[in-house]
Amino acid sequence: MAPVAAEVAGAAGTVTFDLATTTVRALNSELHAPTATSYEVLHPQGAHAVAAGVYAPLTIDVRGHAGYYCAGMNDGATITVHGNVGTGVAENMMSGLVRVRGDASQSAGATGHGGLLVIEGSASMRCGISMKGIDIVVGGDIGPMSAFMAQAGRLVVCGDAGDGLGDSIYEARVYVRGAAGALGADCVEKELRPEHVAELAQLLAAAGLEPTGEYAPERFRRYGSARRLYHFAAHNSGAY
Amino acid sequence: MCGIVGLHLRDPELYPRLGRLLETMLCQVAERGPDSAGVAVYGDHRRCPAGHAAVSVLLPAAGTALDDARARVTADIRAVLPGGPTPLVTAAGATTVIAAPVGVDTLVDAVRRSVPGALVVGSGLDLTVYKDVGGPRSLAATYDLANAQGWQGLAHTRMATESAVVPEGCHPFSVGPDQCLVHNGSFANHATIRRELEAEGVRFDSDNDSEVGARFVAAQLAQGADLDKALRLLCERFDGFYTLLVTSDDGFAVVRDAIACKPAIIAETVAWVAMASEFRALADLPGIDDARIYEPEPERVYAWRR
C-alpha cells in the first residue's frame, strides 16, 4: 500500500515523507515494508527514531536535524542525515552506512554490531560506548568518556578526543589524529603497526576521506586495551 | 526524565513573542515530564507592571475555595500595604500572582502577614512564576503563556522522582529575588546539604531535592557570588545527576554534572540564547538555521548577562 502522505517523484522513484504533515510512525512503517528503494525525509525538526529499525538495502536522505536514535538498529540501509542528530544515532547498527553531515549528540553508534557510521562534524560524549563491531569515523572531535567498554570494531577520530577515552575498553581499536585527553582505566596508547595503517586507510577511504596528506594514517595514534582489567587474575581469587 | 527549556532574548523586537516561543519550546518537551509544568517569565508586564514588585504564591486552597481565597487577597493585601495601593492579582493555574507598586520585601511581607499559609514560589521586580500539576500542553494554555511578553523565560516539565507530585514540588524553584532554578536529574546528597543549610537558618518549602540546589545557589548569590561562581561551587558540593538552568535579574546560566547523562543543548544567535533538553524544542526558533548549536560540556558553567 502506498503511503498516504508520501509523494513519488518522477523517474528516480524517490518517495518523499514530509514530517511536517505526516508522522514518524507512518514513515517507519513504510520503511519496514518498503515499496521503493529510495526515500527522502523532510522537516524532521528533531523528531525521535527517524528511520529506525530499517532492515532492507534502502537509500534514505533525511534533510534537517534529527532527534534521538536516528537510524537505530540499521541493518543494511544507507542513511544520510543532512543536519545534526540527537542521542544514540545508529545505536545497535547491524550493517549498512549511516552518514551524519553535521554533529552528533551523545552515545553515537552505541552498542553497534556492524556497519559504518560516519559523522562529518563532531560527536559529543560517549561516542562508541559499548561498541561491538561497528566502525565509526568522526571528522571532528569526540566528547569525554568515548569508547567506554568498547568491545570490538574501530573508532577513528580526525580531531581530538575528550577525557576518559576508552575506559574499561576490551578489543575495539581507537585511532585519534588530534589530542587525546586523559585516558580511561586500562586504555593505553599502542604502536601503529603496518596492519593498522592499512585498516585506517581503508576506513578513511570508506568514509570518503582521502587517506593521504592531512589524513595520512601515519598522523593518527592508536589506543586500545592494556588487558589488565578484564582478564581474571588467579592471585585475585581470594577477593571473591 | 524531566524537560527543560529556556530562552534569553537579546533582540528587544522579540520581547512581544517570548511567550509564544516559550510555549512552542515547552510543548516539545511535554513527554519528558507529563506530571507537572512550571514557567518563569521575566518582564511580563501583564502580571507585573513596570514599577511593581510581584509575588507568585500557592494559596492554601483548591477548587472554588481557591477562587474565594483569590477574591479576598486584593482587600487583605491592600489593608496591610503602606499607602494602601490596590494590588493586581492574576491567576495562572494553581499559582496566584500578586503585584503592587512597592518593594519586593514589602510585598512579600504583606503576603505572609495577610494570607496565612500562602507559599511564596517566586518574587522579584521582574519575575513571575506559574506552576501546577497536570499535562504541560494544557497548562501552557491555562497560564496563557502564548500571550506573555518579556526578555527571558524558562519552563520545566516534571517527571517526579524524589518527592510528591504536588504544586509545591513543581519547578522552577525561585527562592531569592528574581532568581529561578530548574533541574533535570536527581541530587544524591541533597539531604546532607539541606541539613547544613537548615543549621545556617535557611528554611525550606518542600521535600524536593532541586529546592536544595536553589537554596544553595541563592545563599551563594546572597554572599556576593555571581551565577558563574555560584554554579561552580554547586558542582564542588553536589553529588548526583543534574542539568541545571539558573536565571537571575540579569543572567542566564547552564551547568551539567561531571557525567552529564542528563541532556542539554544550547543554541545562540545574535538575537537570542536558548537552552533545552532536546533539539526539537529549539527547532522552530526564528533563525535556528544560522544558530551556533552545541552541547554544554560536563562541569563547565555557561553564563550570559543581559
Give B-chain residues touching A162 at CB under 8 angstroms.
297
Domain presence at residue A202: yes
Cβ atoms within 10 Å, residue A56: 13
CATH number at residue B105: 3.30.70.100
- Write down the residue that cell numbers 500542553 correspond to: B137
> What integer best gives the mean pLDDT of chain A?
94
Confidence of residue A233 (pLDDT cuts 50, 70, 90): confident
Picking from A46, A48, A124, the nearest residue to B295 by CB comes out as: A124
Q: Which of the two residues, A1 and A34, has the higher pLDDT score?
A: A34
Residue from A146, A154, A81, A149 nearest A119 by CA:
A81
| Closest CA of chain A from B283, distance in Å | 5
- Write down the residue that cell numbers 504533515 correspond to: A21
State the burial class of residue A178 (Cβ atoms within 10 Å of its Cβ: 0-12, 13-18, 19+): middle
Confidence of residue A11 (pLDDT cuts 50, 70, 90): very low
Domain presence at residue A201: yes
Q: Which of residues B125, B158, B176 is at a domain's end?
A: B125
pLDDT at res. B216: 98
Domain presence at residue A5: no
Distance between CA atoms of A110 and A121, rounded to whole angstroms? 17
Please tell me whether residues B153 and B245 are part of one structural domain. yes
Give B-chain residues touching A121 at CB under 8 angstroms.
none
Give A-chain residues touching B281 at CB under 8 angstroms.
46
Domain presence at residue A30: no
Helix or strand or coil: residue B115? coil
Q: Which domain holds residue A187?
A: 122-239
Please tell me whether residues B159 and B300 are part of one structural domain. yes
pLDDT at res. B92: 94
CATH number at residue B29: 3.60.20.10
pLDDT at res. A148: 97
Please tell me whether residues B73 and B182 are part of one structural domain. no
Give A-chain residues touching B29 at CB under 8 angstroms.
none
| Closest CA of chain A from B24, distance in Å | 13
Please tell me whether residues B175 and B139 are part of one structural domain. yes
Statement: residue A3 has pLDDT above 80: no
CB contact under 8 A, A46 and B282: yes
| Closest CA of chain A from B55, distance in Å | 37
CB contact under 8 A, A105 and B295: yes
Give the total residue count for chain A: 240
Distance between CA atoms of A95 and B205, rounded to whole angstroms? 53
Distance between CA atoms of A169 and A147, rounded to whole angstroms? 7
Please tell me whether residues B104 and B183 are part of one structural domain. no
CB contact under 8 A, A144 and B298: yes
| Closest CA of chain A from B127, distance in Å | 31
Domain presence at residue A9: no
Total domains, chain A: 1
Mean pLDDT of A115-134: 98
Chain A residue whose CA is closest to B31:
A48
Domain presence at residue A219: yes
Give B-chain residues touching A143 at CB under 8 angstroms.
295, 297
Q: Which residues of B touch A (CB under 8 A)?
A: 28, 259-261, 263, 265, 278-284, 293-295, 297-298
Domain presence at residue A175: yes
Domain presence at residue A32: no
Confidence of residue A137 (pLDDT cuts 50, 70, 90): very high
* Mutate which: A81, A124, A127, A167, vs B, most B CBs within 10 A: A124
Distance between CA atoms of B258 and A210, rounded to whole angstroms? 37
pLDDT at res. B62: 87
Mean pLDDT of A100-110: 97
pLDDT at res. A238: 77
Cβ atoms within 10 Å, residue B189: 13
CB contact under 8 A, A105 and B263: yes
| Closest CA of chain A from B81, distance in Å | 50
Instruction: Give the model confidence (pLDDT) of B189-240 as tens digits.
Output: 999 999 999 999 999 988 889 999 999 999 999 999 999 999 999 999 999 9
Please tell me whether residues B300 and B258 are part of one structural domain. yes
Give B-chain residues touching A145 at CB under 8 angstroms.
259
Cβ atoms within 10 Å, residue A59: 15
Residue from B298, B255, B250, B261 nearest B275 by CA:
B255
CB contact under 8 A, A103 and B260: no
Please tell me whether residues B111 and B257 are part of one structural domain. no
Q: Which of residues B81, B105, B125 is at a domain's end?
A: B125
Picking from B261, B279, B297, the nearest residue to A65 by CB comes out as: B279
pLDDT at res. A235: 76
Residue from B255, B246, B1 nearest B136 by CA:
B1
Q: Which domain holds residue B245?
A: 3-43+133-305
What the block records as the C-alpha cell of B269 is 544567535
Give B-chain residues touching A45 at CB under 8 angstroms.
280, 283-284
Catalytic residue numbers of B read 2
Instruction: Give the model confidence (pLDDT) of A45-65 as tens digits.
Output: 999 999 999 999 999 999 999
Q: Which of residues B82, B97, B125 is at a domain's end?
A: B125
Q: How many Cβ pairs closer than 8 A exist between chain A and B?
A: 45
Distance between CA atoms of B249 and B247, rounded to whole angstroms? 7
Please tell me whether residues B108 and B144 are part of one structural domain. no
* Mutate which: B279, B282, B290, vs A, most A CBs within 10 A: B279
Give the total residue count for chain B: 306
pLDDT at res. A12: 58
pLDDT at res. B126: 96
Statement: residue A105 has pLDDT above 50: yes
pLDDT at res. A7: 56
Residues of chain B short of pLDDT 50, as ranges, are none
pTM: 0.91
Picking from B260, B278, B284, the nearest residue to A125 by CB comes out as: B260
Residue B38 near residue B5, CB atoms below 8 Å: no
